[in-house]
Structure formats: structure tokens, C-alpha cells
């Protein structure tokens, strides 16, 4: 006799009951196999992609990976080219993106959910933000070139890592806002009401109860948004990321934010268009590296979520 | 104001601090640029003196003088050089920038290759001091740049020449014109398996056929290659567009899809050499190195058959060739880093990188014209 205490136990019990009447749940069984098929297709596709990249890039990944990671772009031959500046540039751009997108996005979400809840202005803003999430990234590149690189030249220094990071911040801002809005909406109203009930001010309710409760989901959302930004090439190329040779010159670490920059996806784009098979090896190896980087970022998101998660 | 929607005051302060520091960095860099411009403008004579005669007059013992210059420059030259424009010219600039950076590691460098038109646009927006183009600047582009208050110096830096090749053992063809090339490799030639298949199309186009028969095997660069694009633009486009207007040809594709595409020039050369009646195209420099395996066909661009040689390409007699240009913002020409880089580009050593990138060196007269444009800071279109 199955003990019907856990959801899984209830499901197993229900399945047992159904099994007594063969053919009773054809639709359910079909649906289950469709779901399994979709899962296999999705993961299989990823696995094939990953396998192809690792096989294609094996010469670099197995041979001179350290050289590849620690040297800059070289036109002389595929074997002399590395991705060092791309890794630095991607981290710089991601940092700038985070600095601009996360506070702005989370603040917007808090306003929409906690202050403007339900009013017409908030609904219009939220609808527009959701639509913005579907705008192609190249459009953000045009915006970044016109606004962050040209109009705000005095702040960003022109086509720099700051301009690139701000462009990607504008691109991922809707994602940050939407995930933060959902996170705040998921905090039960009973929590707010209980806090108000013992005499807390709105600020105390927000800072002591609601935000800590929503933090893990907000963090997951923002880190996933940063992972998306890490993989973008098209907007950065428009905002002047170097596709070819670049060097930082004698700039110190802070100055590199306002000097020339590049990013891993931009380097992959460049490797892929060079004639010759050995450049393709570089492109595949760099793709694996960016995948590892994005996996690391996603891993961080999962760690943060588990660290701060609260069960209701 | 107390209901500020950040999670804590510390977070707010952190954000403000970060924004302020970015603003300060930006301001500091801006003033750096200004001061270096001023410094260069006030002392043009000192920077011009050692570098200007280096390319032309130091023939007796250039290496010693160059080393001397480098040692001096290594300590002094700082700054930032941004280059954008043609993706065709980008490899040359990359090689130049790499060699230049080894001598002057303090100069920050950024090379991009979005396209010739994008380069001229970036110049009109005042964004770059140096931009490349795989064609001469259009009058409309020059007007836009001048309207932004920018004068440009025009330099020819090299030539992108393309050779049409067949197997060295193939005696049945010596010279092809643009109509012949279209009837063999154009979109309407899709499915032609022998040279004779192309005869009726060739006759329609008024080509030089009929061709002697033989199995037509085509080896050429894939469409990601700049050589592929250049070949279409120079050799096929006129005939193809005419055929599109008449409704015979597909308006999206100029080249037949059923050929052996390779990004590796060696594979193309081997394929051409291994098939007696093969046909294909590669960059001139590469074909020239393999004259023992492949035959470089003469091409008739309307003024008779011309054989591809460094001389006929440099003089633009050979029809499938185009000049590569670099443009410089005249106001930035006195910047020490930019001056040193352009000097290096036009030096004899710098010109070797044109060949290393797979292109052809300029005719001496053209190179001299570029050098004198640069030395005299001559602005506007000069070629």
C-alpha cells in the first residue's frame, strides 16, 4: 500500500490506480512521451553543439590552451592568436553592465511592485518593458553608438568598454526588471501585512522583509541577464569593439575602461571570418571558453539562489 | 526622499561612488587627449624631423637609423590609435599594428573592420583618426566628412589583385573576358559540367567563346572570403546586374552555388592543379607563388587581354584589381603616436606587410604620391 503523504507518493498512487484500467489515460501517456522527446531534443541539441565545438577546437584546447588564454590577437597566423584581451574585455563589459543594469533594474521593479502597484502608469511601463525584452540586440547597438558612445562621449570616452557595457546594460535591463518584478510579486502579502501589523514603516517592511525574501530570485535573474550580455557580439561591434588587433598601451587598470576594448564573442566573430581551417579551430576553442565562462556565471547564480533561498 | 527604493543606504552610496569614479576617469582621459594634442601641435618640427625622410632617403643603411629612431621613440611615444573601415584592409592594419606595438608598447591600439562605408561614416562622426577603404572615397562621403569640419589625407597603401587560374597543363584557354567568366561561374552557369555547356550562354552574352570542351571543375574561395566579394564586385557584377535587369538571373546570388569552395588557398591551388580543365580564382600573391602548378590566365576587361604581373596590377592595366586606401584626419596627423604609425605604414618595412596580408605592393610612383601626401599633409582626394 502506497503511503499518500508526499506529492510524489500521491502521483505514484494515482498512476497505480490508473494502471488497473489499461488505456484509460492515453492522452496522459502520449503527453509524457512528448515531454521526454522535447527534453531529449533540447539537451541532445546542446550536447551535439558542445561536442562539435570541443572536437573542432581540440587542437587548441588540448595543445596550447595556456598560450591561447594568455596572448592577444595576432594576424600573423592562427597559432599565434589568443583571446586574452577578449576575456579581459568581456569581464570589463560585464562589470559595467552589472553596475548600470542591476541597481536601475531592481529599483524600477521595486517602484513598480511596491509603490505604483496596479496604477495605470505602472501597467503601461511594465507592458513596454516586456516588449523591450524582444527588441533585437542589434537595435541596442545602434542606440549605444548614438547615445552612449557619441552623445555621452564626455562620460564614456567614446567607443569604450564603458559605452559597450552601458549598451548591454540597456539591452538586459528589461530582463532584470521583469525577473525582479516577478520575484517581488512572489513574496506573500501576508509577510507585508504581518510587518505592517507590528507597526513597521514602509521602509522597514521593504528593507527588512520584502527585499531579503526576494533577494535570491533577483540575484538569479540578474546573473542570468549578465550571462546573456557575456554572449553578445553584434551590439558591441557597432559600439566600436576592436575586431582586429588591439592593445591597452600603458593604460592602468582603470584607464582600460575608457580605452579600446574587445570581447570574446567579437573575437570569435573575427576568428570565424578569417580564411583557413586553423582559424576555425581558434573560433571553436574560444566558443568553448565563452561557454565555460557562461556556465561559471550560471553556476554562481545557482549557488546564490541556494544560499539565500527561503521556503514558504 | 527617505523612501528611496534601494535596498540599503550603503548600496546607494556604493552606486554613487562607482558612478562618480567612472565620471572622473572619463574626465581625466578627456583632458589627457587634449593635452597630448596641444603638445604635439606646439612641437611639430621636432617630431617631423627624424621620421619624414626615413622612408625615402635613408637607403644606404636604413636598419641602423630605424633602430636608433625606435630606441628614442620607445620612451617617448604614448597615446591611442583607433583604426576602422574596410575589412579587406584590416589584415594589413592588424599586421602593421602588431609590429608597431612591439616597438611602441605604450601606445593603445584598436583595429576594427566593419566595412569601408562604415569607416567613412565613423570619420564623419569624428570618431576615428585613421580609417581604411577598399575603394576610393565617394564624393558624397568626402562632402559629409568635410561638413563635419574634418579634412582628410588620402593614401594608397596597396592593391588587391585577383588571379583567374587553371591547371598549368591546360592549353585550351589563355584569356577570358568578364562575359566569359560570368558564363562559366555566374549564377546562370549553375549545373554546367563542361566548358561546352557554357557556349550557348557565352554566345548570348557576346563572350569570346566557343570554348574547347573539357570537364569544368571550379575551385574558389568561399563566400566568407574577401577575395570572393572582390571577385564578384570587379569581374561579375556588371554582367550579372545587366542579366538581372533583363530578368534572366537571380537577383540574390551572383555566383553558381555548385563549385568547390574552400577558405584554404592551398586547397584551391591543389584542386586547380589536379584537374586539367579547372577554373578558379585566388589572390594574386598566392597564385604568383604557385606558377609551377597553376596557369594565371590573361583577363580582358574591355581593353584587350592582360597578363597578371606585379607591374600590370600596380599600373591597374590588369582589370581584376583595386586600390586599397587609408585615410587620415589631418587634424590628428601631428599626434605623435599617429604620426609614428603612418610613417611606419609608408616605410619600406611597413609595405612588406601589404604582401604578407596577401596583397600587391603599389607602383613606386603611387607609393611616392602617398608619401608626399603624408609629408606635405595634402588634404582631399588626390588619386
Termini Cα distance of chain A: 30
Q: What number of CA atoms fall less than 13 Å from residue B311's CA on the CB side?
A: 2
At B301 the pLDDT is: 87
CB interface of B with A, residues 56-85, below 8 Å: 78-80, 82, 84
Residue B280's H or E segment, with its range, is: strand B278-283
- Domain architecture of chain B: domains with CATH: 33-52+64-160+323-375 (3.40.190.10), 169-290 (3.40.190.10)
Residue B150 forms contact with A (CB below 8 Å): no
CB < 8 Å to A244, chain B: 90-91, 93-94, 97, 111-113
Strand ranges inside chain A, DSSP E: 246-248
Q: Which residue has the cell 591611442?
A: B80
Three-state SS across B62-100? HHHHHHHHHHHHHHHCCEEEEEEECCCCHHHHHHHHHHH
ipTM over 0.90: no
Residue contact B82–A248, C-beta within 8 A: no
Nearest to B98 among A74, A149, A250 (CB): A74
Nearest to A157 among B29, B90, B221 (CB): B29
Residue contact A249–B106, C-beta within 8 A: yes
Give which of B112, B286, B354 to mutate to test A binding, by max A Cβ within 10 Å: B112
Q: What angle do CA B237, B238, B239 make, to 5 degrees?
A: 95
At A270 the pLDDT is: 86
B128, B83 contact by CB (below 8 A): yes
CB < 8 Å to B221, chain A: 275
pTM of the model: 0.73
Residue B22 forms contact with A (CB below 8 Å): yes
In chain B, whose CA is at the least distance from the CA of A101? B15
Cα A189 to Cα A25, A198, B13: the distances in Å are 39, 15, 30
Termini Cα distance of chain B: 65
CB interface of B with A, residues 124-143, below 8 Å: 125, 127
In chain A, whose CA is at the least distance from the CA of B101? A247
pLDDT tens for chain B, 383 residues long, are 333 343 444 444 444 444 444 444 444 443 333 333 333 333 333 333 333 334 444 444 444 444 444 444 445 688 889 999 888 888 899 999 999 999 998 898 899 888 888 889 889 988 899 999 988 898 999 999 999 999 999 999 999 888 999 999 998 899 999 999 999 999 999 999 999 999 989 998 888 878 888 899 999 988 766 678 888 888 999 899 999 998 888 888 899 999 998 877 778 888 999 999 999 998 887 788 888 889 999 999 888 899 998 888 888 889 998 899 999 999 999 999 999 999 999 999 999 999 888 888 998 999 999 999 999 999 998 88
In chain A, whose CA is at the least distance from the CA of B224? A273
Residue contact A260–B3, C-beta within 8 A: no
In chain B, whose CA is at the least distance from the CA of A157? B26
Residue contact B93–A243, C-beta within 8 A: no
Write the pLDDT tens digit of every residue in A273-291. Answer: 776 678 889 999 999 999 8
What are the residues facing B108 on neighbouring strands? A248, B80
Please state, in angstroms and rounded to a whole number, the distance separating the CA atoms of residues A110 and A131. 19
Residue B156 grid cell: 594608397
Residue contact A277–B97, C-beta within 8 A: no
The whole-number average pLDDT for the span A51-68 is: 90
At B29 the pLDDT is: 41
Cis peptide before B210 (omega within 30 of 0): yes
Amino acid at each position: 500500500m502506497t503511503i499518500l503523504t508526499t506529492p510524489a507518493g500521491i502521483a505514484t498512487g494515482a498512476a497505480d490506480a490508473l494502471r488497473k484500467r489499461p488505456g484509460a489515460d492515453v492522452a496522459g501517456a502520449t503527453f509524457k512521451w512528448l515531454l521526454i522527446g522535447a527534453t531529449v531534443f533540447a539537451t541532445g541539441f546542446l550536447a551535439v553543439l558542445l561536442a562539435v565545438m570541443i572536437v573542432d577546437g581540440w587542437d587548441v584546447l588540448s595543445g596550447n590552451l595556456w598560450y591561447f588564454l594568455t596572448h592577444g590577437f595576432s594576424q600573423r597566423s592562427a597559432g599565434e592568436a589568443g583571446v586574452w584581451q577578449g576575456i579581459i574585455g568581456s569581464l570589463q563589459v560585464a562589470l559595467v553592465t552589472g553596475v548600470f543594469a542591476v541597481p536601475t533594474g531592481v529599483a524600477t521593479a521595486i517602484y513598480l511592485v511596491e509603490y505604483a502597484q496596479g496604477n495605470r502608469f505602472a501597467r503601461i511601463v511594465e507592458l513596454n518593458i516586456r516588449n523591450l525584452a524582444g527588441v533585437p540586440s542589434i537595435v541596442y547597438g545602434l542606440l549605444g553608438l548614438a547615445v552612449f558612445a557619441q552623445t555621452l562621449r564626455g562620460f564614456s570616452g567614446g567607443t569604450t568598454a564603458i559605452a559597450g557595457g552601458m549598451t548591454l546594460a540597456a539591452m538586459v535591463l528589461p530582463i532584470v526588471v521583469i525577473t525582479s518584478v516577478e520575484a517581488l510579486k512572489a513574496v506573500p502579502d501576508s509577510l507585508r501585512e504581518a510587518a505592517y501589523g507590528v507597526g513597521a514603516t514602509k521602509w522597514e517592511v521593504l528593507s527588512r522583509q520584502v527585499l531579503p525574501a526576494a533577494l535570491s530570485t533577483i540575484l538569479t535573474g540578474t546573473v542570468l541577464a549578465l550571462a546573456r550580455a557575456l554572449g553578445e557580439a553584434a551590439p558591441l561591434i557597432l559600439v566600436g569593439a576592436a575586431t582586429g588587433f588591439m592593445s591597452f598601451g600603458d593604460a592602468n587598470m582603470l584607464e582600460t575602461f575608457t580605452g579600446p576594448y574587445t570581447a570574446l564573442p567579437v573575437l570569435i566573430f573575427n576568428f570565424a571570418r578569417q580564411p583557413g581551417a586553423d582559424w576555425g579551430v581558434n573560433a571553436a576553442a574560444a566558443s568553448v571558453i565563452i561557454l565555460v565562462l557562461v556556465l561559471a556565471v550560471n553556476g554562481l547564480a545557482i549557488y546564490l539562489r541556494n544560499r539565500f533561498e527561503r521556503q514558504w | 526622499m527617505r523612501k528611496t527604493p534601494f535596498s540599503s543606504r550603503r548600496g546607494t552610496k556604493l552606486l554613487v561612488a562607482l558612478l562618480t569614479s567612472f565620471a572622473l576617469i572619463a574626465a581625466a582621459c578627456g583632458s589627457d587627449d587634449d593635452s597630448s594634442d596641444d603638445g604635439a601641435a606646439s612641437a611639430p618640427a621636432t617630431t617631423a624631423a627624424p621620421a619624414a625622410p626615413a622612408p625615402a632617403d635613408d637607403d644606404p643603411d636604413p636598419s641602423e637609423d630605424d633602430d636608433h629612431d625606435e630606441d628614442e621613440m620607445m620612451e617617448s611615444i604614448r597615446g591611442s590609435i583607433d583604426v576602422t573601415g574596410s575589412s579587406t584592409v584590416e589584415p594589413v592594419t592588424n599586421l602593421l599594428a602588431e609590429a608597431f606595438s612591439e616597438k611602441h608598447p605604450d601606445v593603445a591600439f584598436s583595429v576594427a573592420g566593419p566595412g569601408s562605408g562604415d569607416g567613412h561614416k565613423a570619420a564623419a562622426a569624428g570618431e576615428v583618426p585613421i580609417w581604411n577603404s577598399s575603394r576610393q572615397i565617394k564624393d558624397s562621403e568626402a562632402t559629409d566628412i568635410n561638413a563635419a569640419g574634418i579634412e582628410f589625407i588620402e593614401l594608397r597603401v596597396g592593391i588587391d589583385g585577383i588571379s583567374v587560374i587553371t591547371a598549368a597543363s591546360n592549353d585550351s584557354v589563355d584569356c577570358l573576358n568578364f562575359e566569359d567568366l560570368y558564363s562559366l561561374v555566374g549564377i546562370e552557369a549553375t549545373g554546367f559540367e563542361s566548358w561546352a555547356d557554357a557556349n550557348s550562354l557565352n554566345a548570348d552574352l557576346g563572350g569570346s567563346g566557343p570554348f574547347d570542351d573539357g570537364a569544368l571543375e571550379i575551385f574558389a574561395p568561399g563566400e566568407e572570403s574577401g577575395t570572393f566579394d572582390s571577385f564578384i564586385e570587379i569581374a561579375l557584377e556588371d554582367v550579372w546586374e545587366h542579366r538581372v535587369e533583363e530578368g534572366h538571373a537571380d537577383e540574390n546570388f551572383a555566383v553558381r552555388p555548385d563549385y568547390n569552395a574552400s577558405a584554404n588557398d592551398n586547397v584551391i591551388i591543389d584542386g586547380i592543379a589536379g584537374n586539367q580543365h579547372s577554373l578558379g580564382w585566388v589572390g594574386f600573391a598566392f597564385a604568383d607563388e604557385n606558377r609551377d602548378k597553376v596557369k594565371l590566365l590573361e583577363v580582358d576587361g574591355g581593353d584587350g587581354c592582360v597578363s597578371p604581373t606585379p607591374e600590370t596590377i600596380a599600373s591597374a592595366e590588369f582589370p581584376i584589381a583595386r586600390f586599397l586606401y587609408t585615410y587620415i584626419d589631418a587634424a590628428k596627423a601631428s599626434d605623435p603616436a599617429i604620426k609614428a604609425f603612418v610613417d611606419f605604414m609608408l616605410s619600406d618595412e611597413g609595405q612588406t606587410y601589404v604582401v604578407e596580408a596577401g596583397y600587391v605592393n603599389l607602383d613606386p610612383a603611387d607609393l611616392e604620391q602617398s608619401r608626399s601626401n603624408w609629408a606635405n599633409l595634402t588634404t582631399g582626394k588626390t588619386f
